[in-house]
Amino acid sequence: MSSNEEIGSSHDDAGYRGIIKQPYIFFLAFFSSIGGMLFGYDQGVISGVLVMNNFGKQFPVLAANATLQGWMVSILTLGAMIGALANGPIADRLSRRWSILLANSIFLVGSIIQAASVNTAMLFIGRFIAGLAIGQLSMASITLGIMVAFWLDYGTTNIGGTGDGQSPIAWRLPLALQCVPSLILASGTFFLPYSPRWLLMKDREEEARATLVRIRQVSENSPCIESELLEIKAAAIFDNETSDLLYPNANTNIQLTIERYKALFTVGHLRRRLVIACTMQVIQQFTGINAIIYYAPQIFRNIGLSGNSVDLLATGVIGVVNFLSTIPAIMYMDRWGRRKVLIIGGIGMGISQLIVGTIYAVYKDSWASHKSAGWAAASFVWIYIANFAFSIGCTNWIIPSEIFSPGVRAQGVGIAIGVNWLSNFVVALIISQNASKYSTFGTFYFFLAFCIGLIFWTFFMLPETKGVGIEEMDKLFGGNQGEADINRMRDIREGWDLTLETWKFRKIFILRCPKSKRCRWVHSK
């Protein structure tokens, strides 16, 4: 087999065929995504716990105070915002592998405190600590975690009955079961490989080579391994040359990070991208998704569905719909386009909120005699969830990663994630002020306004980013950083004759910049 053929067979397969041919890569991706499941589980489990009889008896002050409930629900997201912002420096210092282990250790502590809580303060502390870890681990497999949590709540709510005889295990067990996926992920970190890029930046090239051989399942002397090592080194050189060009006065990693964040607010075209990324996060939360997930049992109870089991059963359907509706977006987003998906999703969510709000306005005092109206409202809640999951539930993570130039992408996406957590926190607090009466029609009309806003904002303000390259992104937002980045990377590659035909490369070595503490990759002439 020729070099080119070997490369093609190793790297060109995509979709399900690629998964079958490279099961180890699939295993690593799936295993790492458990972190996202932890967030989904914790997000979903609390809604079922809040309506359990024994939980109310154990924490009577919390059960009777809607505002306090809101703080307990939302403090998780406050911790997550802090954890998300702190994870980058931690991972750069310790590696992604050990940062995952650290986050899971923190999560286990928070989960144990929650499950063993005997007072409200312990619950608050446990959820905040768990939030710190979730902020480090989340953003994948979230919908799966929500679905699992809902159905576990449904399964445990009957332990000891649903009335005054209900066992504390009914709510303590779902909270304790958070530890299971966390323990699996923590144990697996000892088998996860280090990132080849991180190893190269630590001057551990042989380990990086061995890791690539293991991941790609090819021989050690395979040309594709040499090529990939060079690509990683090229990316490292690119990062340093870009930083030196744009931020010549940044002599340490801390100064460099500060300068990159500053550029997002002071450079016009970067500021516009940041505004778009952050606006999308705010709109996503204010369409009402997490309010519905957190307080779904109360919603279904207020529309006349009696009994905790029915509440949780109706809520469990939310988890299933949310999970299944995410799959088409993941598979076909690049075919459909971002704007089309957002507009269709906004219309679907808006119609659902309008219908549910109107049903509440008409039947708010007569649910018992209009069961069919209650089920109609429940059905449109599920339709809302489906439209959210396949539209802004996915695109709000895709678009920020596409629109920022490589030099500030990590910082831009980090700020967007922080805004998402902050918006989540605000929505939870707003809804908690009237949690026991959440299902008033005005609340749904409030969310409807943001669904309508999403449609018009997408149509008039958001450019289509499907298939748009880095250099073309500048034409959408202004500036020329993307084109300059492309040219700089091309020059680096050409300096090594890095082509499929020749496989020639010159020796690469590490120099420490005399004016900086930052380690730099430099290629010899």
Identify whether residues 52 and 175 lie together within a single domain.
Answer: yes
DSSP H stretches of helix in 287-337:
289-302, 308-336
Identify whether residues 153 and 40 lie together within a single domain.
Answer: yes
End-to-end CA distance of the chain: give it in Å, rounded: 32
Identify whether residues 162 and 95 lie together within a single domain.
Answer: yes
Total residue length of the chain: 525
Identify whether residues 80 and 119 lie together within a single domain.
Answer: yes
d(CA 287, CA 427): 10
Tell me whether residue 96 is in a domain. Answer: yes
Tell me whether residue 138 is in a domain. Answer: yes
Q: Tokens at residue 51, please? A: 């309506």
Backbone angles phi and psi of 65, in degrees to 5: -120, 105
Backbone angles phi and psi of 521, in degrees to 5: -85, 135
Last residue of a domain, one of 149, 175, 192: 192
Tell me whether residue 173 is in a domain. Answer: yes
CB atoms closer than 10 angstroms to residue 111: 26
Coil/strand/helix, residue 497: coil
d(CA 74, CA 480): 40
Tell me whether residue 68 is in a domain. Answer: yes
Decide: 433 and 70 in contact? Cβ < 8 Å.
yes
Identify whether residues 212 and 84 lie together within a single domain.
Answer: no
Identify whether residues 112 and 162 lie together within a single domain.
Answer: yes
* β-pair partners for 519: 512
* Burial class of residue 502, CB neighbours in 10 A (0-12, 13-18, 19+): exposed
Decide: 359 and 371 in contact? Cβ < 8 Å.
no
> What is the pLDDT, as a whole number, of residue 333?
81
Identify whether residues 103 and 67 lie together within a single domain.
Answer: yes
Identify whether residues 94 and 177 lie together within a single domain.
Answer: yes
Provide the residue range defining the domain that includes 91: 18-192
d(CA 403, CA 412): 9
> What is the pLDDT, as a whole number, of residue 155?
77
DSSP string, 142-183: HHHHHHHHHHHHHHHTTTT-SSTT--THHHHHHHHTTHHHHH
Tell me how many degrees the CA angle 324-329-330 measures, rounded to the nearest 5: 90
Decide: 164 and 308 in contact? Cβ < 8 Å.
no
Identify whether residues 160 and 38 lie together within a single domain.
Answer: yes
Taking only the tens of pLDDT, the chain with its 525 residues reads: 444 434 344 444 544 555 556 666 767 666 666 766 776 777 667 777 877 888 888 888 888 877 787 788 778 888 888 887 777 677 667 777 787 888 888 888 988 999 899 888 898 998 889 888 877 775 446 666 777 777 777 778 778 776 778 888 888 888 888 888 778 877 777 777 877 877 877 778 888 888 888 877 777 777 777 777 877 777 777 777 777 888 888 877 778 878 888 889 998 889 999 999 999 999 999 998 877 776 677 777 777 776 666 666 677 788 788 888 988 887 778 888 899 999 999 999 999 999 988 988 888 778 778 888 888 888 999 999 999 999 998 898 889 888 987 778 878 888 888 888 888 888 877 776 654 454 467 888 889 999 999 999 999 999 998 888 766 787 788 777 767 777 777 777 776 554 433 333 333 333 333 334 444 444 433
Q: What is the DSSP secondary structure assignment for residue 512, as one 8-state letter?
A: E
> What is the pLDDT, as a whole number, of residue 345?
95
Last residue of a domain, one of 151, 166, 192: 192
Q: Which of 423, 291, 403 is nearest to 338 (CA)?
A: 403
Number of domains observed in the structure of the chain: 2
Identify whether residues 116 and 214 lie together within a single domain.
Answer: no
d(CA 482, CA 506): 27
Last residue of a domain, one of 175, 192, 209: 192
Decide: 166 and 105 in contact? Cβ < 8 Å.
no
> What is the pLDDT, as a whole number, of residue 282?
95
Residue recorded with tokens 């002439």? 525
> What is the pLDDT, as a whole number, of residue 307?
65
> What is the pLDDT, as a whole number, of residue 192?
77
Residue recorded with tokens 């390259």? 469
d(CA 525, CA 506): 8
d(CA 104, CA 113): 14
d(CA 392, CA 450): 12
Tell me whether residue 93 is in a domain. Answer: yes
Identify whether residues 214 and 135 lie together within a single domain.
Answer: no
Decide: 12 and 203 in contact? Cβ < 8 Å.
no
Decide: 412 and 404 in contact? Cβ < 8 Å.
yes
Which residue type is seen at 179? Answer: C
* Burial class of residue 307, CB neighbours in 10 A (0-12, 13-18, 19+): exposed
Q: What is the CATH number of the domain that holds 154?
A: 1.20.1250.20
Tell me how many degrees the CA angle 412-415-419 measures, rounded to the nearest 5: 140
CB atoms closer than 10 angstroms to residue 260: 20
Tell me whether residue 489 is in a domain. Answer: yes
Tell me whether residue 382 is in a domain. Answer: no
Which residue type is seen at 220? Answer: E
Q: What is the DSSP secondary structure assignment for residue 406, as one 8-state letter?
A: G
Identify whether residues 239 and 115 lie together within a single domain.
Answer: no
Tell me how many degrees the CA angle 177-73-425 measures, rounded to the nearest 5: 130
> What is the pLDDT, as a whole number, of residue 384?
95
Considering only CA atoms, give the Rg of the chain.
25
DSSP string, 414-476: HHHHHHHHHHHHHHHHHHHTTGGGTT-HHHHHHHHHHHHHHHHHHHHHPPP-TT--HHHHHHH
Tell me whether residue 97 is in a domain. Answer: yes
